[in-house]
Amino acid sequence: MKDLSLTDMLDKEDVTAMIIVAKKKAGLTWAGIAESIGMSPVWTHSACMGMNAFSAEKAAALVALLDLPAEAAAVLEESPTKVWEQTVPTDPCIYRLYEIVGVYGPTIKALIHEEFGDGIMSAIDFDMSVTRVPSEKGDRVKVEMSGKYLAYNAW
């Protein structure tokens, strides 16, 4: 324990703070960072927030792009413990998503059962995109989710 340095104590929260400052200083966007490291914007942002784990290769790419301390790479590769504090999110932008789950959750469930059988859409073998769709009545946000169908096991 005698040779303990500051960077031995880095955790995902520290590295997220470093990323936010470095991104602002560099004038980058999340879409730009994502393109630079060859991943999608959704995954890149969530992993930078500490909600997903980087591969060694992608961690190295991010450290290089943003000039982070070398010790940050190992932290980026760690499996995160995913915690959200608000059972019901208060931010209006996020609450609308919660509301959609409340209103349409039983419908998504019913249509999965009708089309696939007794099972669920995985949130682990999962990907998502957020894009802009131009429209004359006002542009629209398009959120596309894709998760593997997992059938319940009977034994």
Q: Which of residues 4-43 bind a copy of itself (CB under 8 A)?
A: 4, 8-9, 17-18, 21-22, 24-25, 29-31, 39-43
Min separation Cβ 117 and a copy of itself, Å: 8
Contact indicator for 107, 123 with CB cutoff of 8 Å: no
> Is the distance from CB of 11 to CB of 83 less than 8 angstroms?
no
In whole angstroms, give the CA distance from residue 81 to residue 20: 20
Q: Output the smallest distance, CB 150 to a copy of itself, in A.
A: 4
The nearest distance, CB 18 to a copy of itself, in angstroms, is: 6
The residue from 55, 57, 96, 129 that is catalytic is 96
Instruction: List the catalytic residue out of 13, 57, 122, 146.
Output: 122
Q: Select which of 99, 140, 144, 146 is catalytic.
A: 99
Rounded to whole angstroms, the Cα distance separating 134 from 105 reads 27
Among 13, 30, 21, 78, smallest CA distance to 52 is for 78
Asked if 96 is an active-site residue, the reply is: yes
- Binding flag, residue 56, a copy of itself (CB under 8 A): no
* SS3 assignment for 23-67: HHHHCCCHHHHHHHHCCCHHHHHHHHCCCCCCCHHHHHHHHHHHC
Looking at residues 85 to 144 of the shown chain, list those that interact with a copy of itself (rule: CB under 8 A): 86-128, 130-133, 135, 137-144
Altogether, the residues listed in the chain come to a count of 155
State the number of binding residues for a copy of itself (CB under 8 A). 104
Smallest separation (angstroms) from a copy of itself to the CB of 13: 14
> Catalytic positions, please?
96, 99, 122
